[in-house]
Structure 1
Amino acid sequence: MMNSTIHKTQPQPDVLRIGAIRGRTRKPKSHREAARRKNVFMGVAAWAVGLLFATPVFWMILTSFHSEPDAATNPPSLLAPLTLDGYRNFFGLDGGASPWPPLINSATASVVSTILVILLAFPAAYALSIKPVKKPQSVLFFALTTKFLPIVASILPLYLFALYSGLIDNIGLLILLYTTMNLPIAVWMLQSFLAEVPKEMLEAAEMDGAKLHQVLIKVVAPVAMPGLAATALICFIFSWQELLLARTLTNVVAGTAPVFLTSFVTSQGLFLAQLCAAALAISLPVVIAGIAAQDKLVQGLSLGAVK
């Protein structure tokens, strides 16, 4: 009777094995404290670096609410009185030029060119990533070679072409140039995203009798939506901030927001407060678009990076 009782109270081998494993995996208290201190240090360092990079933006915002004499002081005055004169001048409330035509031109050129880029790059990337194409890397490299030539090296031929074809100061020319400028980058990005689409889904759609456009719209596009959003946002940003082509090929009718921004740098001097207010107002559409598509942007960039 006593032997049976002792046998029942003895720990089983599995229990001993689990306890030994837990004992080996449990880290000493000193190691946990060191890891916690390391995480705190990394967090503080990340915040410090983030604030360092954000300091020019904060400074621009603060300067935009100063008057011109206070913004031009050296060293700058942090406690200067705040005013909205820079924003009133930017929006033409003090009798200056209205910013709305340049903003509308920038929005038109950026949105239309981005739509055209996605419509052209999406089937091209589908062909290079999913359908069998001979030497797809050579095709991608050839597309990327169009970006090797700096824009400043091609500005004279483009200007002569626009001059003799009557397209100077035409928003349609900017749309065409922005489309060709962003198309190679979009093909490269979308090719990486579409390579992650499961081939089984495409085979099932083809077995069900789906046409090519149905496969692209109803099967591939929903799966690759984060990649499409990330590509569209990057193309929109590149088009919105472009200055050299717009400055050279436009004048009054088709001038864009970056061209309007340069008008605050005159022969009379640099109107720093007005320039900061204009830069902040012109940057808001890109910031709003980035915040609105933040989740899609993160998903798309991580989808294209992880193989």
Structure 2
Amino acid sequence: MKKAKIKHVLLCLLAVVIALVWVFPIIYMIVSSFKAEVDVVVPGFIFSPTLENYKTVLSDTFFQYLGNSVMITLGTVILTVLLAVPAGYALVFTPLKNPNNVYFWFVSTTFLPAIAVIIPVYLIFQRIGLVDNPLALVILYCGAGVPLMVWLVTNFFKEVPLEIVEAAELDGCNRLQAFSKIMLPLVRNGIFSAALLVFIITWNEFFFAVTITYTEAATLPVYMSKYMTQQGYFWGKMCATGTLICIIPIILGFFTQKALVKGLTSGSVKG
């Protein structure tokens, strides 16, 4: 019993240490956001707190970029769910000739690095007049989010016994009714967790946003980069911006952690 208790205590201490190491950069960013620029240069936790960084960030065009981020992220998540969930259902329960080939095609598109397509993508959007347009980012992010979500929701659908679909068909449900009334409630936690992952990835994306946009459609990560100037890096203001950017995903994750854990671990279905 003593050995088991000692092992339990050691595992708890190890978990605490790993958690502290994991969250230390976030804690340091939040602390640095209340420092003057001079104090940020010298690492330390002893300083005179100030709100100047937040006043500067919030008095600028922050809310314009915030609106762009919210609009683009929500649009991407909604469109990704509408496209990816039926696709995942079709890959599992629709008699396709080569469903594994289609599934691999979806998954393989996530392997393509963004830098490999940025030039043709920019030229195409420039030709059709979508540069610095929120629609351009929604299209790009859906192109990245749909394969990721298809990959995830397909695994959730595979955990649902085929007998459930067959029973629904025997009761008179067609494919669409079985999908909307039977399957969606069973895998809703999995869909939610996948959608939340797409939300976080889209919310934090920087490379396409800084390349395709200028001012009208730029998002919060692009806004933060404006404090990286030729005169130097304004670390305090970047930390304040980074803290504000993190607030929404943290709050969203905190209130949805139960559904997120269920979806990521077992898809909420036990076969």
Fold conserved between structures, TM > 0.5: yes
Aligned to 2:6: 37
Pair 1:52-2:21 in alignment: yes
Cα drift, residue 137 of structure 1: 2.1
Contact (CA 8 Å) 2:189, 2:267: kept in 1 or not? no
Q: Following the alignment from structure 1 to structure 2, what is the Cα–Cα distance between the partners of residues 268 and 52?
A: 32
Instruction: Report the number of matched residues.
Output: 270
Match 1:87 to one of 30, 42, 54: 54
Partner of 2:245: 282
Amino acid at match of 1:109: I
2:88 alignment counterpart: 125
| Residues 57-96 of structure 1, C-alpha deviations (whole Å, 9 max, x = no match) | 11111111111111122xx23211011111111101xxxx
2:40 to 62, 66, 71: 71
- For residue 190 of structure 1, what is the aligned residue in structure 2? 153
Q: Unaligned regions of 5+ residues in structure 2, if any?
A: none
Letter in 2 for 1:84: L
CA displacement at 1:101 relative to structure 2 = 1.1
- Distance in structure 2 (CA, Å) of the matches to 1:226 and 1:104: 28
- For 2:117, what is the secondary structure of its paired residue? helix
- C-alpha displacement of 1:208: 2.1
Q: 1:112–1:175: 8 Å Cα contact kept in structure 2?
A: yes
Q: Is the 8 A contact 1:226 1:297 kept in 2?
A: yes
Deviation at 1:131, TM superposition (A): 2.8
Q: Distance in 2 between matches of 1:56 and 1:296?
A: 26
CA offsets per residue over residues 12-34 of structure 1, 9 Å max, x none?
xxxxxxxxxxxxxxxxxxxx111
Amino acid aligned to 1:221: L
**Greater alpha carbon shift after TM alignment, 115-124 vs 126-135:** 126-135
Residue 195 of structure 2, aligned match among 215, 221, 232: 232
Question: Which has the larger Rg?
Answer: 1
Residue identity matched to 1:86 = N
In the alignment, residue 35 of structure 1 is paired with which amino acid? Answer: A
Q: Secondary structure at the match of 1:83?
A: coil
Give the match for residue 294 of structure 1: 257
Structure of higher RCO (CA pairs closer than 8 Å, 6+ residues apart): 2
The TM-score with structure 1 as length reference comes to 0.84
Cα distance in 2 for partners of 1:261, 1:161 equals 27
CA contact (8 A) 2:187 2:267 kept: no
Contact 2:132/2:212 (CA < 8 Å) preserved in 1? yes
Q: 3-state SS of the aligned residue for 2:24? A: helix
Percent identical: 36
List 4+ stretches of structure 1 deviating above 4 A: 304-307
Q: Identify the range of structure 1 (209-218 vs 97-106) with the bigger mean alpha-carbon deviation.
A: 209-218
Matching of residue 257 in structure 1 with residue 220 in structure 2: yes
Cα separation, 2, equivalents of 1:293 and 1:222: 17
1:145-184 to structure 2, matched below 5 A, reads: 145-184=108-147
For 1:77 and 1:300, how far apart are their aligned partners in 2?
A: 40
- Equivalent residue for 1:208? 171
* DSSP-derived class of the 2:111 partner: coil
Secondary structure of the equivalent of 1:114? helix
Q: CA deviation at 1:304?
A: 4.6
| Aligned counterparts of 2:153 and 2:162: Cα–Cα separation in 1 | 16
1: CA distance, partners of 2:181 / 2:52: 51
1:97-108 pair list within 5 angstroms: 97-108=60-71
- Distance between the aligned counterparts of 2:187 and 2:194, measured in 1? 11
Residue in structure 2 matching 1:61, options 25, 30, 34? 30
Q: Counterparts of 2:175 and 2:56 in 1: how far apart (Å)?
A: 53
CA–CA distance in 1 between the matches of 2:216 and 2:235?
26
What CA distance in whole angstroms lies between the structure 1 residues aligned with 2:44 and 2:265? Answer: 43
Could you give the per-residue CA deviations for residues 128-158 of structure 1, whole angstroms, max 9, x where no partner exists? 1223333322211111222222111110001
Distance 1:143 1:56 in 2: 34
1:189–1:304: 8 Å Cα contact kept in structure 2?
A: no
